[in-house]
Amino acid sequence: MKAFLAIVTQTMRSAIRSKIFHVLFALIILAVFLLPVTVSGDGTAVGLVQISLTYSLGVVVTLISTTTLWLACSQLSREIEAYNIHLVVSKPCPRWKIWLGKWFGIFIMHAVILVVSAAVIFFLINWRVSRGNFSAEDLNRLDKEIRVGRRGFYPQAPEYDRQVDAEYERRKGEFGDNHDIASTKAEIKRQLVAKSGEVPPGTAKDWVFRNVVTKSPDATLFLRYRVYSGSTSSSSQKQMPCIWGLRDPAAPPSVADPFRYIAFNVMGGTFQEMPLSAKSIDEGDCITVRYKNPPQEYWLGAEATPAVFQPADGPAILMAVSSFGNNYTRAMFLALLQIAFLAALGCTVSAAFSTPVAAFVAVAYLVIGLSIQAAITAPLTNDDGSYKYKNVTEMVLHKFAQGMGHVIVSVDDLDATSDLIRGRLIENRRLFNTVGYLLFLRTGLIAALGIWIFNKRELGAVIRK
């Protein structure tokens, strides 16, 4: 342990003497103290917090990640080229301990910088909100939508496969003898999914949300949704009347309609949130909501149009389960894992190559990771979430990208800023999966490769030019 701590200390001292570190650290300080108090949003408290978090955390995490990767790529390679490492390996200290000491020294130094920076940004943004002279309504919206960690509950998905099989058997005679069964069923499924999100005037649609558990029967839930007037592709959205119903668990079975309704107008194509009472949860931890598209007489002279819901736009039930500070800490924990991964990547390539080559290889790895993520999301998706391929080549390339995505780490996987600025809870499941899958498995494999390379490298063969 004494040798390990000595290597960690020496690594931190060497890093602090780097001129590039001085420049990047100065930029980090400027970003931490200037961005949270200078950026401006749309004049609302929600806009201010969202834009401040996006720019402040984005710039700071990027700069810290850059310094981490650069120092990790240069530490071992420079000491090998300067023959400094030869003095260390001559001691009774195994090479794996040297590699881990370098990695840990770089990681712990930048982890401290990140924690301090995140704390300063957090307090500066809250200070600016308190000095912003926002209305009580604006602050209330901020606390309910952004400065909170909300868990999402989603409706039970229809059994499309069973419906497709039944519809195919019913219409089988229409398709002829030479039709492709898979393509025909795919088209039937697309039609069923599109039809399931459409509510014609004078009709209604129900959604059932299961496993909705709250800590208190007095908790407030929110129904978030976006409904389109006529078509999702239409740019001429208009005000439309809608009626939302909430099933009353206390209603006796003899009641013909156990729903309690509220009617209002909404602008088509915009996200809306409506408060719900937790008392609407039945004994099976379910909530049933109903949307009614009123008939023509409720449209006040306008032409009645179908109400259209997309699967990705809800409806969804949101429930506050965590404070903003807790959710903010979770996001920073993922950022710490990103630093740990970048330090391991840099130390691995540094053990094999000179500093310029190591930096090039590390950056190329990250670019490949980002490219793979872009390739995974490139094909269009159908309404049911399945991919829409243009040809067989695109399908093969997409499957290959999905496979490589399980091998190559993308830093996008560790970015939780988008969840944070929308008030979405960063779930424990995501944290545990990231720690187990990314840190222990993939980062562990990279670290094992780096230690193996360092053990096998002939240090005496290094010739300083």
| 372-421 pLDDT, tens digit each | 777 777 666 665 556 667 777 877 877 877 777 777 777 777 888 888 98
| 161-176 pLDDT, tens digit each | 888 888 888 887 777 7
- Structural domains of the chain, with CATH: 2-146+328-461 (no CATH), 197-314 (2.60.120)
Rounded to whole angstroms, how far apart are CA atoms 465 and 446? 29
Concatenate the DSSP letters of all residues of 221-258 into one string: EEEEEEEEES-TT-S---EEEEEEEEE-TTS-TT-S--
| Mean pLDDT value across residues 423-439 | 85
Give the count of alpha carbons within 13 A of 223, CB side only. Answer: 21
Contacts by 453-460, CB closer than 8 A, 24 or more apart: 453/348, 453/351, 453/352, 454/76, 454/95, 454/96, 454/98, 454/99, 454/351, 455/95, 455/96, 457/80, 457/351, 457/352, 459/80, 459/85, 459/86, 459/89, 460/86
Q: Is 375 exposed, middle or buried (0-12, 13-18, 19+ CB in 10 A)?
A: middle
Global pTM value: 0.81
Rounded to whole angstroms, how far apart are CA atoms 373 and 375? 5
State the pLDDT at residue 353.
86
State the pLDDT at residue 122.
92
Give the strand pairing for 316-323 and 220-229.
antiparallel
User: What is the 8-class DSSP label of residue 305?
Assistant: -
Rounded to whole angstroms, how far apart are CA atoms 261 and 292? 9
State the pLDDT at residue 285.
87
| Mean pLDDT value across residues 242-254 | 88
Nearest partner of 416 among 143, 149, 119, 123, judged by Cα: 149
In a 3-state reduction of DSSP, which class is residue 33?
A: helix
Give the C-alpha distances (Å, rounded to integers) separating 280 from 284, 289, 362, 399.
11, 10, 53, 43
State the pLDDT at residue 464.
57
Q: Residue written as tokens 């290094």?
A: 462
Phi-psi region of 133 (alpha: psi -120 to 50; beta: other; left: phi over 0): left
* Helix (H) or strand (E) segment spanning residue 191: helix 181-196
Helices 45-81 and 19-38 cross at an angle (nearest 10°) of 180
| Mean pLDDT value across residues 351-371 | 87
State the pLDDT at residue 68.
92
Amino acid at 137: E
| 272-319 pLDDT, tens digit each | 888 888 888 888 889 999 999 988 887 777 788 888 888 777 799 998
State the pLDDT at residue 463.
56
State the pLDDT at residue 386.
63
Is the pLDDT at 465 greater than 60? The verdict is no
Rounded to whole angstroms, how far apart are CA atoms 106 and 7? 11
State the pLDDT at residue 114.
92
Rounded to whole angstroms, how far apart are CA atoms 438 and 443? 6
